[in-house]
Chain A
Amino acid sequence: MPLTEKTPVVLLTGFLGSGKTTLLQRLLAHPEMGETAVIVNELGEVAIDHHLLRRVDERTVVLGNGCVCCTLRGDLADELRDLLGRRERAEIPPFRRVVVETTGVADPAPIVYTLLSEPVVKHHFELERVITTVDAVHGLRGRESLLQAVAADRLVVTKTDLASGGELERRLGALNPTAEVLEVSFGEVDPDVLFGGEGRRLRDLPAASHAEHDGVQAHSLVFDEQLDWIAFGVWLTMLLSSRGSDVLRVKGLLDVGGSGPLLLNGVQHVVHPPVHLDAWPDDDRRSRIVFIGRGLERSALEESLTAFVRAARQ
């Protein structure tokens, strides 16, 4: 792997008993997972014959002025730095991807924050995607389960042998329209299905959709006009500052005037550096932004952002 290329990190999360360890165990049996380093919290539960399996004790460092989501996961940063050093010294087999399995009650935001902010980690690793397991028997359970589901880029509905996943899949898809929803039984899934694809396409969400879980709603906004990126940045930073605890996820493809869109992706307060894509994923070149949160009104978001963009033109 060239030195300049960042190693992708996949975050595997899901509530206690939702089947993420089974999924990981079955995935590790595939030969193509050999070049994957795995970081887990609970070593005993995973097959231990994988040569790149590491265990961490969840250890958070609360920053002086930080909120909960801006908390550094020191354990993860240490482990990733250690993996990096050992790979460079050829003490461990080379790896091309890292899978981090979280505890069942982990909030994904501090992990995303760690990957984006820790100086060494952010230069050598990049978060490729968040995969969240939800079991068809219990569905979403509590705050952490909800945070994990809205942070997902891929939602895996498990235990569909015990309960029908259809209704849950529909609800999850409406609650987090940025994620692909897959059904997986007994962890049987091809690694390519989970780790392949670019995962950047935003599925359309009907304007009138009101998928709600525990007061959390997804709103999909579409803008015909080109958006000014600076105005958008001013607006979103202000929104996250004043209503940050209500905004759980933001993801969008923005038409800022280039040949392709600008990809925006944020989990709670933590926003990935925006990426200019070379091309749009389909013929629809309008800006599309999905907000998932509490107490946000679609019309208020739309009118406010429009006012900021227009003010920038004057």
Chain B
Amino acid sequence: MCALCGVLLNDHWAEQDGGRRGRTFRVGLVNRVLDHFGLELDDWAGRVYVLRDRKGRAAVVDNLGVLWTQAAVFAGRPLDPLDPELVRALD
């Protein structure tokens, strides 16, 4: 836990490189994926992310690992990257 802001620090393996620019780039790519499921992600101060659905629900998520679990809750199904419709949508 960070003593200054109370935000849980994390060092998720998939987010160790790239810095601030990488984080912005990551959010952009994730949003292309989430759009297929009616969801959207915002970066919050470079510390955590905020996941939203179109019904107005929102959840704070620490990292990519947690993101997909919460997104599955909002979408009502697991978000499978091998889903052929998602692959077509990204292409």
A binding-site residues for B, Cβ under 8 Å: 229-231, 233-243, 271-274, 296-297, 300-301, 303-305, 307-308, 310-312
Contacts and interface: CB of A to CB of B under 8 A. Distances in A.
Contacts of B2: none
B82 A229 contact: no
B78 interface: yes
A311 to B, nearest CB: 4
Contacts of A303: 87
B5 interface: no
A123 B17 CA distance: 19
A296 B81 CA distance: 12
A1 B45 CA distance: 40
A303 B22 CA distance: 24
Nearest to B78: A242
Contacts of B18: 229-230
A230 B25 contact: yes
Contacts of B80: 238, 242-243
A103 B61 CA distance: 36
A234 B82 contact: no
Contacts, number: 89
12 contacts: A229-B18, A231-B29, A233-B15, A234-B14, A237-B12, A237-B65, A242-B68, A271-B14, A274-B13, A274-B16, A300-B84, A305-B81
Nearest to A273: B13
B64 A237 contact: yes
* Interface majority SS (helix, strand, loop, mixed), chain A: helix
Contacts of B79: 238, 241-242
The 3 closest A-B pairs by CB, nearest first: A233-B14, A241-B68, A242-B78
Contacts of B86: 304, 307
Interface string B54-67: 00000000001101
A166 B77 CA distance: 45
Of A239, A241, A296, which is in contact with the most chain B CB atoms at under 10 Å from its CB?
A: A241
A300 B14 CA distance: 22
Given A237-B65, A238-B68, A310-B90, A230 B81 contact: no
Contact of B81 (A239, A273, A310): A239
